[in-house]
Structure 1
Amino acid sequence: MTTDTPARLLQLLSLLQTPREWPGGELAERLGVSRRTVRRDIDRLRELGYPVQATMGADGGYRLVAGKAMPPLVLDDEEAVAIAVGLRAGAGHAIEGVDEASVRALAKLEQVLPARLRHRVATLQAATTPLTSGDGASVAPETLTVMASAVAGRERLRFAYRAGDGTGTRRVTEPYRLVSTGRRWYLVAYDLDRADWRTFRVDRVSEPFATGARFAPRELPTGSAAEYLRRSVYQRHQETYTLGVTFAAPAEAVAGRLPAWFGAPEPLDGG
């Protein structure tokens, strides 16, 4: 018999999350309480926002149905491991929105996952290899979850970073947002040592550590992290070309028709 009310409510909720009709007598037997106590506990769950539907008759009972909002769920060990593994796989998915949502959900789940279950998830992850596309750059789910937690908690983030030329540095940042391009993950953050905004490829990050030091969010130079990343990547890869154009007209006539940024025309030999 479960005498502790919160524990009994969690046990009742776990039973109701099984997709079936639960007769009141069976619930009372499972919980070791009276039918009257079951009815009171059902009312408590409803007050907490869980949509429990009751049906009358000999075959009637209680069932948890879909409501207007997503209520908290109670997971057993196998369900928690399965969801964690699925979210880790989803974190590397190329479907827009799925990867970001997977990282947020994974960060929440792993924050409360018991050590024994974390070990099971890590063991399963180590025994499997995903087939990557593009340049094959992969990101450890642990790196993403640490970063996502730091972003959500507004905690300063410290990590080692390897630049494109192989140069290694240590960074202390105020993480703003994780951005997925479908092929790669980027961190948009304010670099404290350089006193400026930076973008970091997450597959080049190692040893991420949330320091616990809180910070007040700074205003991003652009409207969104995605826009800042787009501009940053564009400027980084922008190349300069010298273009020569020959006009079959006098230089003076051409000069009056060209914008200032085009430069001043020079006459060829002979005018």
Structure 2
Amino acid sequence: MSDTTTRALSLLNLLQTHRHWPGSELADRLGVTERTVRRDVERLRDLGYRIESSPGATGGYRLEAGSAVPPLLLTDEEAVAMAIGLRVAASQRLVAGPETTITALAKLEQVLPAPLRRRVNALAETVQPAGMNAGAAVSSEVLGELALACRDHERVRFTYTAASGEVTTRRVDPHALAPAERHWYLLCWDLDKQDWRTFRVDRLTGVEHTRVLFEPRPLTPEEIEEFILVARSWVRQAVEADAVMDLPFDTMRELFGQWGQGATAEDDEHTRWPVGGADFRETMYGLSWIPEGVEYTTDLAEPARSELREVLGRMLRALDAPHPRSRVRPGATVEA
């Protein structure tokens, strides 16, 4: 295999692993000049690969879908079968790292021509693996776009519809995609809020790639897991209440971390924090996490308020009562 062919295949591999490459970075990776990169791009175009180029300081190259499947040594049927299999794997969470499945699916669908992509969509709707938990419908196209943005560290815009029905446009630096129970979540840095946010992917539409690359902020796997856990629990509960704490907002957020999401400043010295659960016991558990010594009031409604008061009253009486006598097991000797 000639050096030119080897270099062209290396270029193709790079183009398939990132959504957008600056020309100067490709040249550095391949150890050639930008002029040579341009010539190799033309060779790949002659082979059927549609490679988009953009000029300027932030310009570069990206691989686009073509009018036919590029020469990947796959038949149309094989390409469709692979895409369907990857979709099933993603929906079933068959791999430890779900982003691996999604990025593989995104890479494949990125080069599928429109007719084959329509076949994949049609077949995917009929494939319902046994035991798959029902959840909100998620667009595989949106998942793929977000996965590519997470992988390439590319800033995106999208429209988000909150549980309240409020529709907003968000600008974010996407960090990770993760499934939790029946939903997919996007963890990202919200540029307008200047804070981490987690969005349900099924409520997200109109993903726009800005082609602006960012330096990812460090997060440990444990921190990512905590973000997703908070997001998963952030749904309307059967028993809900607000706790107004004698804590300034900034202090409260510092103490609560991600569990302080939804809190608002009541005034300079007080913070309102929503808390809830499936019943009054779970709400009581949430209230128990308010730091020691911090006074608060709550608007917990009836009948949960009376139920909680009765349980707490019995607990206090039990704690104030004399200790119960130790049980003597049969056959044991009791000393005088």
Partner of residue 122 from structure 1, selected from 118, 122, 132 = 118
Q: In structure 1, give the amino acid aligned to 2:189.
A: Y
Q: Structure 1 residues 248 and 209 mapped into 2: Cα distance closer, same or farther (>3 Å)?
A: closer
Deviation at 1:210, TM superposition (A): 1.9
CA contact (8 A) 2:177 2:186 kept: yes
In structure 2, the partner of 1:214 is 213
Give the Cα separation in 1 of the matches to 2:164 and 2:188.
21
Deviation at 1:217, TM superposition (A): 0.8
CA contact (8 A) 1:156 1:173 kept: yes
Q: Structure 1 residues 122 and 167 mapped into 2: Cα distance closer, same or farther (>3 Å)?
A: same
Give the Cα separation in 2 of the matches to 1:136 and 1:222.
25
Deviation at 1:87, TM superposition (A): 1.6
In structure 1, the partner of 2:313 is 245
Q: In structure 1, give the amino acid aligned to 2:167.
A: G
In structure 1, the partner of 2:202 is 203
2:189 pairs with 1:190: yes
Deviation at 1:77, TM superposition (A): 3.1
Q: In structure 2, give the amino acid aligned to 1:216.
A: E
Give the Cα separation in 1 of the matches to 2:232 and 2:81.
36
SS in 1 for 2:92: coil
In structure 2, the partner of 1:83 is 82
Task: State percent identity of aligned pairs.
Answer: 37
Give the Cα separation in 2 of the matches to 1:114 and 1:85.
13
Hey, which of these two has a bigger chunk of strand by percent?
2
Alpha-carbon deviations, 1:147-191, whole Å to 9, x = none?
A: 000000000111111111221111110101001124211000111
Q: Structure 1 residues 150 and 90 mapped into 2: Cα distance closer, same or farther (>3 Å)?
A: same
Deviation at 1:121, TM superposition (A): 2.3
The normalised TM-score by structure 2 is: 0.47
Aligned length: 184
Q: In structure 2, give the amino acid aligned to 1:126.
A: A
Q: In structure 1, give the amino acid aligned to 2:186.
A: L
CA RMSD of aligned residues (A): 3.4
Could you list the structure 1 runs, at least 4 aligned residues long, displaced by more than 4 angstroms after superposition.
130-135, 235-238, 246-249
Task: Flag structure 2 segments of 5+ consecutive residues without an equivalent.
Answer: 10-71, 238-274, 277-282, 285-307, 321-336
Task: Flag structure 1 segments of 5+ consecutive residues without an equivalent.
Answer: 11-72, 255-271
Greater relative contact order (CA < 8 Å, ≥ 6 in sequence): 1
Larger radius of gyration between Structure 1 and Structure 2 = 1
1:244-263 equivalence runs, <5 A: 244-246=312-314, 247-248=316-317, 254=320
In structure 1, the partner of 2:103 is 104
Give the Cα separation in 2 of the matches to 1:164 and 1:134.
21
